[in-house]
Amino acid sequence: MSLTLFEKIWQSHLILSGKSQPDLLYVDRIFLHERTGSFALKSLKDRGLRVKNPKHVFATMDHIVDTFPGRGDETLMPGGKKFIQTMRELANEFGITLFDINDPRHGISHLISAEQGIALPGNIVICPDSHTCTLGALGAIGWGVGSSDCEHALATSSLAGNKPKQMQIIFSGELNEGVNAKDMMLHLMEKYSVSGGAGYAIEFSGDTIDNLPLENRFTLCNMAVEFSAFTGIIAPDQKVFDYLKDRPYSPNKTWTETIDYWKSLHSDENAIFDKVIEIDASQIYPSVSWGLSPEQSIPIDGSIPNLHEISNPDKKEELESSLKYMGLKSGQSLMHLPIDAAFIGSCTNARLDDLRSAAKILKGNKVSGDVLAICTPASATVKRNAEKEGIDQIFKDAGFEWREPGCSLCFYAGGEGFLPEQRVITSTNRNFRGRQGPGVRSHLASPATVAASAIAGKITSSKEVMKK
């Protein structure tokens, strides 16, 4: 029987399956962070349960910890310290490997699980975090869950679930200059809505994906959840194998046999997908979101939809409400809209390639006047590697703050954040109402677009800045 890549992995992890109950699947790796992982461990402890296999469980501090240089357990977020300390105490108690705040391997969970060779092709990796799908770029099933399901996985090394439907998204052709995986996903959601992937596991394929650098593939899979998909996945190839070789937790001793197995991880030729979407890569342009959902995005030189052209009254009301919050007008263009802040960070777009693409634009330029510009590399390793290349100096010379890894500026948890009505161009994943702080107006874009806009002091494309 022909299977998709996702189905192959699902099948190889099947412990039990029955007609009137969900499948029970083996879980290879569990990653925790202090925001939700602390809940799962605390609840496990309160029930008197143990962690079934602590060797396969890892933890980091990424959600609550501040990003200022010299940060520690104290946080600007009221009560944040308690989350951090609870995570640390319980990780110790249960014998879980913790990448603590000052550990050289520290960083955002979805980054370091790849960097350390913890998440591998053909694995099922779970984390109580919706962006776990990022790991699909390695050919793993990255399965985002809530705290209770995480607790289940900790106690049993398994998870119950119904197999999702299968979708294939084929990108063909060459990407335009300055287009990043972020633009690909904003384009996808603009066309097919944010609920377009609901109920499906999505395999990204096509020659555009084959040619896409691995770091961009992480960005692509990362935003599968914004498309409401179960997860996103890409068949692992030589780029993935090269990336994982000699990583601390990679199976380096059995490398050759392992690669043989990993090479079988692709959809069969006759595999049946319940839905196929084809996208012409040449039609994708650098994009920016204008509203309160990632689907409310447009090519950077396009215009916001005109309210007069929308007939559905509910849709119209939704757009009106988004426009009001964002301080924008129907039909307006985004190009040259003044900004107050620019942010490069998060699990979506703060890898080395992302920082390089921004540095190319920032080099020899200065951030405009009062624009607050911040960069938080996604992990300590990314930060060190960027510093080796002198990228930190380019950012600092341009007027960017060069900070420590963490997620905190992607969502406002009561500590670090932006101010009400500030317009922020951001390399993150969610432009929800109040996501980066009450009243904050977030515009999602690629790191290159964020860098270009920071220099111009207004939303602008990297092409325009490079011209000058």
Partner 1 sequence: MNWSESFIAIAAPLLMDNVDTDQIIPSREMKTISKKGLRKGLFANWQYNYLDGKQIGKNDDFILNKKAFEDTKILVSGKNFGCGSSREHAVWALKDFGINVVVAKSFGRIFKNNCARNQLLTIELADEYIDHIGDLLVRGEIHNKITIDLKKQTLTTPENKIINYEVDPYLLGMLLKNQDFIDRSLSYEESIDEFVRKDKKIRPWAYL
Site for partner 1 in 163-192 (CB under 8 A): none
Residue with smaller CB distance to partner 1, 270 or 312: 312
Instruction: Please report how close the Cβ of residue 348 comes to partner 1 at its closest, in angstroms.
Output: 14
Instruction: Please report how close the Cβ of residue 266 comes to partner 1 at its closest, in angstroms.
Output: 17
Q: Which of residues 275-304 bind partner 1 (CB under 8 A)?
A: 293
Residue with smaller CB distance to partner 1, 94 or 412: 412
Q: Which of residues 260-279 bind partner 1 (CB under 8 A)?
A: 261
Residue with smaller CB distance to partner 1, 15 or 335: 15
- Start-to-end C-alpha separation, the chain: 57
Q: Which of residues 301-360 bind partner 1 (CB under 8 A)?
A: 314, 318
Q: Can you read off the two tokens belonging to residue 319? A: 């757009």
**Stretch in the footprint of partner 1 (CB under 8 A) among 82-90, 102-110, 364-372, 458-466:** 82-90
Residue with smaller CB distance to partner 1, 254 or 306: 254
What are the b/e assignments for 180-209, b being 16+ CB within 10 Å?
Answer: bbbbbbbbbbbeeebebbeebbbbbbbebb
CA distance 201 to 142: 10
Q: Could you say whether residue 437 binds partner 1 (CB under 8 A)?
A: yes
Binding residues for partner 1, rule CB under 8 A, total 75
CA distance 448 to 176: 13
Q: Which of residues 358-397 bind partner 1 (CB under 8 A)?
A: none
CA dihedral 73, 79, 85, 88 (to 10 degrees): -100
Residue with smaller CB distance to partner 1, 7 or 149: 149
Instruction: Please report how close the Cβ of residue 98 comes to partner 1 at its closest, in angstroms.
Output: 15
Q: Sketch the per residue contact string, 6 through 45, with partner 1: x for CB under 8 A, - otherwise.
A: ------x--xx---xxx-x-x-x------xx-xx--x---
CA distance 326 to 324: 5
Q: How far is CA 265 from CA 15, 378, 456, in A?
A: 20, 28, 45
Of positions 157, 427, 460, 461, contacts partner 1 by CB under 8 A: 157
Look at residues 31, 32, 33 and name the one whose alpha carbon lies nearest to residue 413: 33
**Stretch in the footprint of partner 1 (CB under 8 A) among 150-158, 208-216, 380-388, 448-456:** 150-158
Instruction: Please report how close the Cβ of residue 16 comes to partner 1 at its closest, in angstroms.
Output: 6
**Stretch in the footprint of partner 1 (CB under 8 A) among 107-115, 235-243, 327-335, 409-417:** 409-417
- The phi, psi pair for 135, rounded to 5°, reads -70, -10
CB distance 372 to 342 below 8 Å: yes
Residue with smaller CB distance to partner 1, 38 or 222: 38
CA distance 459 to 286: 12
Residue with smaller CB distance to partner 1, 315 or 396: 315
Q: Which of residues 41-80 bind partner 1 (CB under 8 A)?
A: 42, 47, 49, 55-56, 77-79
Of positions 103, 105, 146, 333, contacts partner 1 by CB under 8 A: 146
CA distance 315 to 210: 37
Instruction: Please report how close the Cβ of residue 274 comes to partner 1 at its closest, in angstroms.
Output: 16
141-144, strands of its sheet edge to edge: 97-99, 57-60, 29-33, 124-127, 141-144
**Stretch in the footprint of partner 1 (CB under 8 A) among 177-185, 222-230, 346-354, 382-390:** 222-230
SS3 letters for 333-390?
Answer: ECCCCECCEEEECCCCCCCHHHHHHHHHHHCCCCCCCCCEEEECCCEHHHHHHHHHCC
CB distance 344 to 350 below 8 Å: yes
CB distance 100 to 106 below 8 Å: yes
Of positions 109, 123, 180, 449, contacts partner 1 by CB under 8 A: 123
Q: What is the DSSP secondary structure assignment for residue 309, as one 8-state letter?
A: G
What are the b/e assignments for 73-94, b being 16+ CB within 10 Å?
Answer: bebbbeebeebbebbbebbeeb
Residue with smaller CB distance to partner 1, 44 or 361: 44
Residue with smaller CB distance to partner 1, 25 or 212: 25
Q: Could you say whether residue 243 binds partner 1 (CB under 8 A)?
A: no
Q: Could you say whether residue 130 binds partner 1 (CB under 8 A)?
A: yes
**Stretch in the footprint of partner 1 (CB under 8 A) among 125-133, 202-210, 211-219, 364-372:** 125-133
Enclosing H/E stretch for 402: strand 401-402
Q: How far is CA 401 from CA 67, 396, 446, in A?
A: 10, 6, 18
Look at residues 420, 197, 250, 453 and name the one whose alpha carbon lies nearest to residue 343: 453
